[in-house]
Amino acid sequence: MKYDYIVIGAGSAGAIVATRLSEDPNTSVLLLEAGQDFADIDGLPEEVKYGYMSTKSVWDSDHNWQYRARATDEAEIEIPRGKVTGGSSAINGQIFIRGIPEDYDNWADWGNDEWNFGKLVPYFNMVETDTTYQDDPGDFHGNSGPIICHRFPEDQWRQGNRVWMSAWRDSGHPFCEDHNMPGTTGVGPITLNNPNGIRWSTSIGYLGLSRHRLNLTIRPNVTVKRILFDSSGARPRATGVEAVSGDETFEVEGGEIILSAGAIGSPQILMLSGVGPSDHLSEHGINTVIDSPGVGQNLADHPLINMLWATKPEVDLTPFLPSAQLLVRYTAEGSPLENDMIVYLNAAAGMSRNRGGMRSGAEDMSAVVGLGASLGLNLALSKGEIRLRSADYRDYPYLNYNMLDHEEDRRRYRDGIRMIVDLEDHPAMAEIIEKRVYPEDSDLETDEALDRWMKRWVGTGHHVSCTAKMGPSSDPMAVVDQYGKVYGADGLRVVDASIMPECVRANINVTVLMIGERIAEFIKQGK
Protein backbone atom coordinates (compact mmCIF):
# COMPACT_ATOMS: atom_id res chain seq x y z
CA MET A 1 0.00 0.00 0.00
CA LYS A 2 1.16 3.52 -0.75
CA TYR A 3 0.20 6.24 1.73
CA ASP A 4 -0.27 9.90 0.87
CA TYR A 5 1.93 10.82 3.84
CA ILE A 6 4.36 8.90 6.01
CA VAL A 7 5.17 10.69 9.28
CA ILE A 8 8.28 9.40 11.02
CA GLY A 9 7.98 9.97 14.76
CA ALA A 10 4.78 10.32 16.79
CA GLY A 11 6.22 12.94 19.11
CA SER A 12 5.47 16.56 19.88
CA ALA A 13 5.29 17.65 16.22
CA GLY A 14 4.65 14.35 14.44
CA ALA A 15 1.47 13.56 16.36
CA ILE A 16 0.14 16.99 15.44
CA VAL A 17 1.03 16.71 11.76
CA ALA A 18 -0.59 13.27 11.52
CA THR A 19 -3.69 14.49 13.33
CA ARG A 20 -4.13 17.56 11.14
CA LEU A 21 -3.43 15.83 7.82
CA SER A 22 -5.84 13.00 8.62
CA GLU A 23 -8.67 15.50 9.14
CA ASP A 24 -9.26 15.03 5.40
CA PRO A 25 -10.89 11.59 5.15
CA ASN A 26 -9.60 11.24 1.60
CA THR A 27 -5.96 11.50 2.77
CA SER A 28 -4.12 8.41 4.00
CA VAL A 29 -1.51 8.89 6.73
CA LEU A 30 0.93 6.39 8.20
CA LEU A 31 2.45 7.40 11.54
CA LEU A 32 5.55 5.42 12.57
CA GLU A 33 6.82 5.43 16.15
CA ALA A 34 9.89 3.65 17.52
CA GLY A 35 8.35 3.33 20.98
CA GLN A 36 5.11 1.93 22.31
CA ASP A 37 1.64 3.36 21.93
CA PHE A 38 -0.92 3.56 24.73
CA ALA A 39 -4.43 4.18 23.47
CA ASP A 40 -5.90 5.79 26.57
CA ILE A 41 -4.84 7.66 29.70
CA ASP A 42 -5.62 4.79 32.04
CA GLY A 43 -3.21 2.52 30.16
CA LEU A 44 -0.24 4.87 30.39
CA PRO A 45 2.77 3.73 32.46
CA GLU A 46 3.02 5.71 35.69
CA GLU A 47 6.22 7.57 34.74
CA VAL A 48 4.62 8.68 31.47
CA LYS A 49 1.18 9.48 32.82
CA TYR A 50 2.24 11.57 35.79
CA GLY A 51 4.68 14.43 36.15
CA TYR A 52 5.38 15.47 39.74
CA MET A 53 3.10 12.74 41.12
CA SER A 54 5.03 9.76 39.73
CA THR A 55 6.95 7.50 42.08
CA LYS A 56 8.80 5.95 39.11
CA SER A 57 11.74 7.57 37.36
CA VAL A 58 11.43 8.39 33.68
CA TRP A 59 15.23 8.55 33.47
CA ASP A 60 15.62 4.78 33.50
CA SER A 61 12.39 4.04 31.65
CA ASP A 62 12.10 2.03 28.44
CA HIS A 63 10.14 5.04 27.14
CA ASN A 64 13.28 7.18 27.21
CA TRP A 65 15.97 6.84 24.51
CA GLN A 66 18.58 7.50 27.23
CA TYR A 67 21.15 9.22 25.05
CA ARG A 68 24.46 10.45 26.45
CA ALA A 69 26.43 13.48 25.37
CA ARG A 70 29.62 15.39 25.95
CA ALA A 71 28.75 18.61 27.76
CA THR A 72 32.32 19.73 28.47
CA ASP A 73 35.68 17.99 28.80
CA GLU A 74 34.74 17.48 32.46
CA ALA A 75 31.13 16.37 32.11
CA GLU A 76 29.21 13.66 30.29
CA ILE A 77 25.46 14.11 30.61
CA GLU A 78 22.28 12.13 30.14
CA ILE A 79 19.97 13.27 27.36
CA PRO A 80 16.41 12.00 27.85
CA ARG A 81 14.19 11.89 24.75
CA GLY A 82 10.77 10.30 24.53
CA LYS A 83 10.50 6.85 22.95
CA VAL A 84 6.71 6.53 23.05
CA THR A 85 3.76 8.13 21.28
CA GLY A 86 3.84 11.75 22.37
CA GLY A 87 7.64 11.72 22.16
CA SER A 88 9.36 14.03 24.59
CA SER A 89 6.04 15.70 25.41
CA ALA A 90 5.25 12.37 27.14
CA ILE A 91 8.29 12.42 29.45
CA ASN A 92 9.16 16.11 29.88
CA GLY A 93 8.91 18.58 32.77
CA GLN A 94 5.56 19.96 31.55
CA ILE A 95 6.76 23.58 31.43
CA PHE A 96 4.58 25.30 28.86
CA ILE A 97 6.07 28.68 28.03
CA ARG A 98 6.61 30.46 24.75
CA GLY A 99 9.70 32.24 23.51
CA ILE A 100 9.63 36.01 23.46
CA PRO A 101 8.38 37.78 20.31
CA GLU A 102 11.91 38.78 19.28
CA ASP A 103 12.88 35.10 18.97
CA TYR A 104 10.42 34.51 16.17
CA ASP A 105 10.87 37.94 14.60
CA ASN A 106 14.58 37.08 14.34
CA TRP A 107 13.68 33.90 12.46
CA ALA A 108 11.73 36.05 9.99
CA ASP A 109 14.57 38.58 9.67
CA TRP A 110 16.93 35.71 8.79
CA GLY A 111 14.91 34.87 5.69
CA ASN A 112 11.89 32.96 7.05
CA ASP A 113 9.18 35.59 6.62
CA GLU A 114 6.33 33.19 7.46
CA TRP A 115 7.63 32.89 11.03
CA ASN A 116 7.36 36.32 12.63
CA PHE A 117 5.61 36.43 15.99
CA GLY A 118 2.45 38.10 14.70
CA LYS A 119 1.84 35.29 12.22
CA LEU A 120 2.52 32.61 14.84
CA VAL A 121 0.21 33.80 17.64
CA PRO A 122 -2.89 32.04 16.18
CA TYR A 123 -0.97 28.75 16.04
CA PHE A 124 0.26 29.09 19.62
CA ASN A 125 -3.33 29.73 20.67
CA MET A 126 -4.57 26.82 18.55
CA VAL A 127 -2.45 24.39 20.58
CA GLU A 128 -3.77 25.19 24.03
CA THR A 129 -6.65 25.36 26.41
CA ASP A 130 -5.27 27.73 29.03
CA THR A 131 -7.56 27.17 32.00
CA THR A 132 -6.13 30.16 33.88
CA TYR A 133 -7.55 32.48 31.21
CA GLN A 134 -10.30 30.28 29.79
CA ASP A 135 -13.10 32.74 30.47
CA ASP A 136 -11.16 35.71 29.08
CA PRO A 137 -8.40 34.44 26.78
CA GLY A 138 -7.71 37.76 25.06
CA ASP A 139 -5.35 37.82 22.09
CA PHE A 140 -2.56 35.66 23.52
CA HIS A 141 -4.23 32.59 25.02
CA GLY A 142 -6.17 29.68 23.60
CA ASN A 143 -9.29 28.25 25.20
CA SER A 144 -10.17 25.33 22.91
CA GLY A 145 -6.90 23.62 21.95
CA PRO A 146 -5.92 19.98 22.56
CA ILE A 147 -3.25 20.68 25.24
CA ILE A 148 -4.47 21.76 28.68
CA CYS A 149 -2.26 24.21 30.58
CA HIS A 150 -2.55 26.17 33.80
CA ARG A 151 -0.67 28.03 36.53
CA PHE A 152 -0.79 27.27 40.22
CA PRO A 153 -2.54 30.18 41.98
CA GLU A 154 -0.73 31.82 44.87
CA ASP A 155 -2.88 30.12 47.50
CA GLN A 156 -1.48 26.77 46.25
CA TRP A 157 2.18 27.75 46.31
CA ARG A 158 4.35 25.77 48.67
CA GLN A 159 6.20 27.47 51.51
CA GLY A 160 9.56 27.41 49.77
CA ASN A 161 8.13 29.06 46.67
CA ARG A 162 6.56 31.82 48.75
CA VAL A 163 9.99 32.44 50.20
CA TRP A 164 11.57 32.44 46.77
CA MET A 165 9.01 35.00 45.59
CA SER A 166 9.80 37.33 48.49
CA ALA A 167 13.54 37.12 47.92
CA TRP A 168 13.35 37.77 44.18
CA ARG A 169 10.81 40.60 44.47
CA ASP A 170 12.78 42.35 47.19
CA SER A 171 15.93 42.10 45.07
CA GLY A 172 14.27 44.24 42.42
CA HIS A 173 12.73 41.73 40.01
CA PRO A 174 9.17 42.58 38.91
CA PHE A 175 6.23 40.25 39.38
CA CYS A 176 5.24 38.46 36.17
CA GLU A 177 1.66 37.24 36.19
CA ASP A 178 1.98 35.42 32.87
CA HIS A 179 5.27 34.47 31.19
CA ASN A 180 3.38 33.79 27.94
CA MET A 181 2.39 37.43 27.51
CA PRO A 182 4.64 39.46 25.20
CA GLY A 183 6.91 42.01 26.84
CA THR A 184 7.09 40.35 30.26
CA THR A 185 10.01 39.64 32.54
CA GLY A 186 10.59 38.90 36.22
CA VAL A 187 9.34 36.27 38.65
CA GLY A 188 5.96 34.59 38.53
CA PRO A 189 4.05 31.32 38.18
CA ILE A 190 5.13 28.80 35.55
CA THR A 191 2.63 27.76 32.90
CA LEU A 192 2.40 23.96 33.08
CA ASN A 193 0.61 21.32 31.01
CA ASN A 194 -0.14 18.92 33.88
CA PRO A 195 -3.80 19.23 34.90
CA ASN A 196 -4.39 17.14 38.03
CA GLY A 197 -0.76 16.02 37.83
CA ILE A 198 -1.23 14.30 34.44
CA ARG A 199 1.39 15.10 31.79
CA TRP A 200 -0.84 16.25 28.92
CA SER A 201 1.20 15.07 25.95
CA THR A 202 0.40 15.17 22.24
CA SER A 203 -0.48 11.49 22.52
CA ILE A 204 -3.32 12.41 24.85
CA GLY A 205 -4.27 15.76 23.37
CA TYR A 206 -3.84 15.18 19.64
CA LEU A 207 -3.83 11.44 18.96
CA GLY A 208 -6.79 11.27 21.32
CA LEU A 209 -8.65 13.19 18.62
CA SER A 210 -7.41 11.22 15.65
CA ARG A 211 -6.43 7.64 16.48
CA HIS A 212 -9.94 6.36 15.71
CA ARG A 213 -9.82 7.63 12.12
CA LEU A 214 -9.80 4.94 9.45
CA ASN A 215 -7.39 6.94 7.28
CA LEU A 216 -4.73 7.20 10.03
CA THR A 217 -2.57 4.14 10.69
CA ILE A 218 -0.40 4.28 13.80
CA ARG A 219 2.42 1.73 13.83
CA PRO A 220 4.34 1.67 17.14
CA ASN A 221 7.56 -0.27 17.79
CA VAL A 222 8.86 0.57 14.31
CA THR A 223 12.38 1.92 13.86
CA VAL A 224 13.16 3.69 10.60
CA LYS A 225 16.50 2.68 9.10
CA ARG A 226 16.53 5.16 6.26
CA ILE A 227 14.49 7.19 3.82
CA LEU A 228 14.31 5.77 0.29
CA PHE A 229 14.96 7.97 -2.75
CA ASP A 230 14.36 7.73 -6.46
CA SER A 231 17.38 9.44 -8.01
CA SER A 232 16.53 8.79 -11.65
CA GLY A 233 15.19 12.29 -12.26
CA ALA A 234 16.71 15.75 -12.17
CA ARG A 235 16.36 15.80 -8.36
CA PRO A 236 16.17 12.93 -5.90
CA ARG A 237 12.66 12.27 -4.65
CA ALA A 238 11.81 10.64 -1.34
CA THR A 239 9.52 7.72 -2.11
CA GLY A 240 9.28 5.75 1.12
CA VAL A 241 11.12 4.35 4.10
CA GLU A 242 12.95 1.21 5.09
CA ALA A 243 12.00 0.23 8.60
CA VAL A 244 12.30 -2.54 11.17
CA SER A 245 9.66 -3.97 13.48
CA GLY A 246 10.82 -6.83 15.63
CA ASP A 247 12.66 -9.24 13.34
CA GLU A 248 10.95 -7.91 10.20
CA THR A 249 12.55 -5.40 7.83
CA PHE A 250 10.11 -3.85 5.38
CA GLU A 251 9.67 -0.98 2.97
CA VAL A 252 6.63 1.24 2.63
CA GLU A 253 5.86 3.90 0.01
CA GLY A 254 4.59 7.41 0.58
CA GLY A 255 3.69 10.39 -1.56
CA GLU A 256 5.47 12.67 0.91
CA ILE A 257 7.79 11.73 3.75
CA ILE A 258 7.63 13.91 6.88
CA LEU A 259 10.51 13.46 9.27
CA SER A 260 9.54 14.32 12.86
CA ALA A 261 12.01 12.22 14.82
CA GLY A 262 13.31 15.12 16.90
CA ALA A 263 16.49 17.19 16.94
CA ILE A 264 18.61 14.06 17.51
CA GLY A 265 16.69 11.45 15.53
CA SER A 266 15.94 13.53 12.45
CA PRO A 267 19.53 14.49 11.58
CA GLN A 268 20.63 10.93 12.30
CA ILE A 269 18.03 9.49 9.91
CA LEU A 270 18.88 12.11 7.28
CA MET A 271 22.56 11.19 7.41
CA LEU A 272 21.86 7.45 7.35
CA SER A 273 19.76 8.15 4.24
CA GLY A 274 22.58 9.99 2.46
CA VAL A 275 21.52 13.56 3.30
CA GLY A 276 24.25 15.41 5.16
CA PRO A 277 27.88 16.55 4.98
CA SER A 278 29.32 14.42 2.19
CA ASP A 279 32.77 14.09 3.77
CA HIS A 280 31.24 12.81 7.00
CA LEU A 281 28.94 10.38 5.18
CA SER A 282 31.86 8.98 3.22
CA GLU A 283 33.68 8.22 6.48
CA HIS A 284 30.95 5.66 7.16
CA GLY A 285 30.57 4.34 3.61
CA ILE A 286 27.24 6.10 3.04
CA ASN A 287 26.55 7.26 -0.51
CA THR A 288 25.68 10.95 -0.61
CA VAL A 289 22.24 11.66 -2.06
CA ILE A 290 22.30 15.35 -1.07
CA ASP A 291 25.39 17.15 0.20
CA SER A 292 23.86 19.17 3.04
CA PRO A 293 26.62 20.44 5.35
CA GLY A 294 24.23 21.81 7.97
CA VAL A 295 22.76 18.44 8.96
CA GLY A 296 23.78 17.73 12.55
CA GLN A 297 25.47 21.11 12.99
CA ASN A 298 24.36 24.22 14.93
CA LEU A 299 23.18 22.12 17.90
CA ALA A 300 21.62 24.44 20.47
CA ASP A 301 20.28 23.80 23.95
CA HIS A 302 19.92 25.62 27.24
CA PRO A 303 22.71 24.79 29.68
CA LEU A 304 21.32 24.27 33.18
CA ILE A 305 23.07 24.30 36.54
CA ASN A 306 21.40 23.26 39.78
CA MET A 307 21.91 24.98 43.12
CA LEU A 308 20.68 23.50 46.38
CA TRP A 309 20.03 24.62 49.98
CA ALA A 310 19.17 22.30 52.87
CA THR A 311 16.24 23.63 54.87
CA LYS A 312 15.36 23.42 58.55
CA PRO A 313 13.43 20.37 59.81
CA GLU A 314 10.10 22.19 60.12
CA VAL A 315 9.96 23.06 56.39
CA ASP A 316 7.53 20.87 54.42
CA LEU A 317 9.46 18.87 51.83
CA THR A 318 6.77 16.33 51.00
CA PRO A 319 7.74 14.73 47.68
CA PHE A 320 5.31 14.01 44.83
CA LEU A 321 3.48 17.30 45.28
CA PRO A 322 3.77 20.39 43.05
CA SER A 323 7.20 21.83 43.74
CA ALA A 324 8.45 23.71 40.67
CA GLN A 325 5.79 26.42 40.56
CA LEU A 326 7.74 29.64 39.89
CA LEU A 327 9.98 30.88 37.11
CA VAL A 328 12.28 33.88 36.72
CA ARG A 329 13.35 35.52 33.49
CA TYR A 330 15.88 38.33 33.57
CA THR A 331 18.53 39.98 31.45
CA ALA A 332 22.14 39.44 32.49
CA GLU A 333 24.01 42.61 33.37
CA GLY A 334 25.91 43.88 30.36
CA SER A 335 24.10 41.57 27.96
CA PRO A 336 22.40 42.93 24.82
CA LEU A 337 20.06 39.91 24.80
CA GLU A 338 16.73 40.47 26.52
CA ASN A 339 15.67 37.77 29.00
CA ASP A 340 18.79 35.73 28.30
CA MET A 341 18.68 34.12 31.76
CA ILE A 342 16.02 31.83 33.20
CA VAL A 343 15.69 30.34 36.70
CA TYR A 344 13.40 27.48 37.71
CA LEU A 345 12.57 27.67 41.41
CA ASN A 346 11.82 24.57 43.43
CA ALA A 347 10.32 24.29 46.91
CA ALA A 348 11.41 20.66 47.47
CA ALA A 349 14.59 19.73 45.62
CA GLY A 350 16.90 16.76 46.00
CA MET A 351 20.50 15.89 45.31
CA SER A 352 21.17 15.85 41.57
CA ARG A 353 21.48 12.42 40.01
CA ASN A 354 24.89 10.76 40.11
CA ARG A 355 26.63 13.73 41.68
CA GLY A 356 30.29 13.44 40.78
CA GLY A 357 29.72 11.54 37.54
CA MET A 358 27.01 11.52 34.92
CA ARG A 359 24.97 14.70 35.17
CA SER A 360 21.34 14.91 34.18
CA GLY A 361 19.85 17.85 36.04
CA ALA A 362 17.05 15.70 37.41
CA GLU A 363 16.25 15.54 41.10
CA ASP A 364 16.13 12.33 43.10
CA MET A 365 12.88 12.85 44.98
CA SER A 366 13.73 10.11 47.47
CA ALA A 367 16.46 12.38 48.84
CA VAL A 368 14.74 15.76 49.02
CA VAL A 369 16.73 18.15 51.18
CA GLY A 370 15.47 21.68 50.58
CA LEU A 371 15.17 24.58 48.18
CA GLY A 372 16.47 24.35 44.63
CA ALA A 373 17.24 26.84 41.89
CA SER A 374 18.13 25.74 38.37
CA LEU A 375 19.85 28.49 36.41
CA GLY A 376 19.47 28.28 32.65
CA LEU A 377 21.21 30.20 29.90
CA ASN A 378 19.15 31.32 26.89
CA LEU A 379 20.80 32.04 23.55
CA ALA A 380 24.04 30.35 24.51
CA LEU A 381 26.85 31.33 22.15
CA SER A 382 28.46 27.90 22.40
CA LYS A 383 27.10 25.50 19.76
CA GLY A 384 27.47 21.73 19.40
CA GLU A 385 27.00 19.04 16.79
CA ILE A 386 25.66 15.56 16.07
CA ARG A 387 27.83 13.03 14.22
CA LEU A 388 27.24 9.45 13.21
CA ARG A 389 29.24 6.76 14.98
CA SER A 390 28.58 4.29 12.16
CA ALA A 391 26.22 3.50 9.31
CA ASP A 392 24.25 1.16 11.62
CA TYR A 393 20.88 2.66 12.54
CA ARG A 394 21.10 0.93 15.93
CA ASP A 395 24.17 2.90 17.00
CA TYR A 396 23.36 6.10 18.85
CA PRO A 397 25.00 9.16 17.31
CA TYR A 398 27.83 11.07 18.95
CA LEU A 399 26.40 14.13 20.69
CA ASN A 400 28.73 17.01 21.47
CA TYR A 401 26.85 19.80 23.25
CA ASN A 402 30.05 21.84 23.69
CA MET A 403 28.60 23.77 26.63
CA LEU A 404 30.29 26.80 28.21
CA ASP A 405 32.87 26.96 25.45
CA HIS A 406 32.33 30.70 24.94
CA GLU A 407 33.63 33.10 27.59
CA GLU A 408 30.47 35.22 27.48
CA ASP A 409 28.41 32.13 28.37
CA ARG A 410 30.67 31.52 31.36
CA ARG A 411 30.55 35.18 32.44
CA ARG A 412 26.76 35.30 32.40
CA TYR A 413 26.65 32.07 34.37
CA ARG A 414 29.15 33.23 37.00
CA ASP A 415 27.23 36.44 37.58
CA GLY A 416 23.92 34.58 37.78
CA ILE A 417 25.17 31.99 40.28
CA ARG A 418 26.61 34.67 42.56
CA MET A 419 23.42 36.72 42.36
CA ILE A 420 21.30 33.73 43.39
CA VAL A 421 23.69 32.82 46.21
CA ASP A 422 23.29 36.37 47.55
CA LEU A 423 19.55 35.76 47.90
CA GLU A 424 20.23 33.37 50.78
CA ASP A 425 20.84 36.43 52.99
CA HIS A 426 17.26 37.61 52.47
CA PRO A 427 15.41 37.37 55.84
CA ALA A 428 12.72 35.03 54.51
CA MET A 429 15.37 32.73 53.02
CA ALA A 430 17.63 32.82 56.05
CA GLU A 431 14.68 31.86 58.26
CA ILE A 432 14.20 28.48 56.59
CA ILE A 433 17.68 27.63 55.24
CA GLU A 434 20.06 25.49 57.26
CA LYS A 435 22.98 25.53 54.82
CA ARG A 436 23.92 25.78 51.18
CA VAL A 437 24.73 22.33 49.77
CA TYR A 438 26.19 23.44 46.43
CA PRO A 439 27.96 25.36 45.13
CA GLU A 440 30.28 25.35 48.12
CA ASP A 441 32.09 28.48 49.33
CA SER A 442 35.34 27.24 47.82
CA ASP A 443 33.65 27.05 44.41
CA LEU A 444 32.80 30.75 44.63
CA GLU A 445 36.20 32.08 45.71
CA THR A 446 37.51 32.95 42.24
CA ASP A 447 36.28 33.04 38.67
CA GLU A 448 38.61 30.15 37.88
CA ALA A 449 37.22 28.03 40.71
CA LEU A 450 33.66 28.78 39.67
CA ASP A 451 34.43 27.95 36.04
CA ARG A 452 35.80 24.58 37.12
CA TRP A 453 32.66 23.88 39.15
CA MET A 454 30.36 24.95 36.33
CA LYS A 455 32.13 22.84 33.71
CA ARG A 456 31.89 19.81 35.96
CA TRP A 457 28.26 20.27 36.96
CA VAL A 458 26.59 21.81 33.94
CA GLY A 459 23.64 19.85 32.60
CA THR A 460 20.96 20.54 30.06
CA GLY A 461 17.52 22.08 30.04
CA HIS A 462 16.60 19.28 27.60
CA HIS A 463 15.88 21.68 24.76
CA VAL A 464 18.05 20.26 22.00
CA SER A 465 17.27 21.98 18.72
CA CYS A 466 18.52 23.63 15.50
CA THR A 467 20.32 20.59 14.03
CA ALA A 468 18.61 20.83 10.61
CA LYS A 469 17.83 24.50 10.57
CA MET A 470 15.51 26.33 8.23
CA GLY A 471 16.71 29.29 6.25
CA PRO A 472 16.90 30.80 2.78
CA SER A 473 18.65 28.96 -0.02
CA SER A 474 21.48 31.49 0.20
CA ASP A 475 22.44 30.09 3.62
CA PRO A 476 24.81 27.17 2.99
CA MET A 477 24.04 25.70 6.43
CA ALA A 478 20.26 25.73 5.97
CA VAL A 479 18.87 22.21 5.61
CA VAL A 480 15.21 23.07 4.96
CA ASP A 481 13.27 26.03 3.66
CA GLN A 482 10.69 27.80 5.80
CA TYR A 483 8.04 25.24 4.83
CA GLY A 484 10.18 22.40 6.17
CA LYS A 485 11.13 21.13 2.70
CA VAL A 486 14.60 19.62 2.50
CA TYR A 487 16.82 21.48 0.06
CA GLY A 488 17.87 19.39 -2.92
CA ALA A 489 15.07 16.84 -2.65
CA ASP A 490 11.41 16.50 -3.50
CA GLY A 491 8.81 14.83 -1.31
CA LEU A 492 10.69 15.26 1.98
CA ARG A 493 10.13 17.62 4.90
CA VAL A 494 11.44 17.93 8.43
CA VAL A 495 8.97 19.10 11.08
CA ASP A 496 10.34 19.25 14.62
CA ALA A 497 12.76 21.16 16.87
CA SER A 498 15.66 20.51 14.52
CA ILE A 499 14.45 23.14 12.02
CA MET A 500 14.58 26.04 14.47
CA PRO A 501 17.25 28.53 13.27
CA GLU A 502 18.05 29.47 16.87
CA CYS A 503 16.73 28.17 20.17
CA VAL A 504 14.05 30.32 21.76
CA ARG A 505 14.27 32.00 25.17
CA ALA A 506 12.00 29.46 26.81
CA ASN A 507 11.38 25.75 27.17
CA ILE A 508 10.88 24.63 23.60
CA ASN A 509 7.93 22.23 23.72
CA VAL A 510 5.26 24.85 23.04
CA THR A 511 7.30 26.15 20.12
CA VAL A 512 7.63 22.63 18.69
CA LEU A 513 3.87 22.13 18.98
CA MET A 514 3.35 25.41 17.15
CA ILE A 515 5.79 24.26 14.44
CA GLY A 516 3.68 21.13 13.97
CA GLU A 517 0.50 23.16 13.58
CA ARG A 518 2.14 25.73 11.32
CA ILE A 519 3.69 23.31 8.85
CA ALA A 520 0.63 21.05 8.81
CA GLU A 521 -1.26 24.10 7.58
CA PHE A 522 1.42 24.79 4.96
CA ILE A 523 1.07 21.22 3.70
CA LYS A 524 -2.71 21.56 3.46
CA GLN A 525 -2.23 24.80 1.52
CA GLY A 526 0.09 23.07 -0.94
CA LYS A 527 3.14 25.12 0.06
pLDDT in tens, 139-171: 999 999 999 999 999 999 999 999 999 999 999
pLDDT digits (tens, 9 = 90+) for 301-343: 999 999 999 999 999 999 889 999 999 999 999 999 999 999 9
Active site residues: 463
Residues of the chain with pLDDT under 70: 352-366
Q: Is the peptide bond before 476 cis (omega within 30 degrees of 0)?
A: no
State the burial class of residue 445 (Cβ atoms within 10 Å of its Cβ: 0-12, 13-18, 19+). exposed
Instruction: Report pLDDT for 357.
Output: 32
Instruction: Report pLDDT for 106.
Output: 98
Residue type, 238: A
Instruction: Report pLDDT for 361.
Output: 35
Integer CA distances (angstroms), 136 to 73, 95, 131, 141, 149, in order: 50, 22, 10, 9, 15
Can you give the pTM of this predicted structure?
0.97
Instruction: Report pLDDT for 86.
Output: 98
Residues 6+ apart with CB under 8 A from 161: 323, 325, 326, 345, 347
State the burial class of residue 42 (Cβ atoms within 10 Å of its Cβ: 0-12, 13-18, 19+). exposed
Rounded Cα distance between 410 and 303, Å, is 11
pLDDT digits (tens, 9 = 90+) for 476-492: 999 999 999 999 999 99
